[in-house]
Amino acid sequence: MAAHKLYLIRHGVAEERGDGWPDDTRRPLTEGGMAGLRKEARGLVRLGVTFDAVLTSPLVRARQTADIVAAAFDTRPPIVTIDSLSPGGSTQSVLNDLEAHARRANIAIVGHEPGMGELAARLAGLKRAMEFKKGAVCRIDIASLPPAGPGALRWFLTPKILRELRK
């Protein structure tokens, strides 16, 4: 069995970029994005997923996603902001930051594209980045933090599948 189960989550549907949001770090989720994430989080609960912590980018839309996901669980996991999960952060910086959470077995990681896809590829030993739709979740099992080698991609679920699972 893997020592760590990592759940990579791309933030939900956010407001469009533009004049209404000159500071992209403050751009929030849409009402529909929040509603969709609540359903998707219930799908994760139905799968038997648990989190010891939810690590998130500091951007508003990622933090909102982390809050919604954490709230779906009876034992609400702590939410920890990790600056390296911001857009433009390096995969190596994220891996370095993950090392501080080596005692935790089940970790959700909320971030942005293309960072989530690049991180997933690195963790699973893939040559190309995976493409995450908004609200998509993948599980990668690894033996140690920091990873000593490639982990195992266990599943990769679209928002639509997660919403169906909640029923």
Place of tokens 């590829």: 121
- Residue 18 CA to residue 34 CA, distance in Å, equals 20
Rounded mean pLDDT of 102-111? 97
Task: Express each pLDDT in 33-89 by its tens digit.
Answer: 999 999 999 999 999 999 999 999 999 999 999 999 999 999 899 999 999 999 999
- C-alpha dihedral (106, 126, 89, 157), degrees to nearest 10: -50
Q: Give 104's Cβ-side CA count (13 Å radius).
A: 21
- Residue 102 CA to residue 148 CA, distance in Å, equals 13
Q: Is the pLDDT of residue 138 over 50?
A: yes
Q: Is the pLDDT of residue 1 over 60?
A: no
Q: Is the pLDDT of residue 2 over 60?
A: yes
Q: Which amino acid is at 13?
A: V
Rounded mean pLDDT of 134-163? 95
Q: Which strands form 106-111's sheet, in the order they lie side by side?
A: 79-81, 53-56, 106-111, 4-10, 137-142, 152-157
pLDDT of amino acid 147: 87
Extract the tokens encoding 55: 């690590």
Q: Is the pLDDT of residue 151 over 70?
A: yes
Q: How far is CA 7 from CA 18, 30, 98, 109, in A?
A: 30, 23, 12, 6
- In order of their start, the domains of the chain are 4-165 (3.40.50.1240)
Closest CA to 23 of 64, 58, 68: 58
pLDDT of amino acid 15: 93
End-to-end CA distance of the chain: 29
Q: Is the pLDDT of residue 98 over 70?
A: yes
pLDDT of amino acid 126: 95
Least confident of 1-10, 15-24, 78-87, 147-156: 15-24
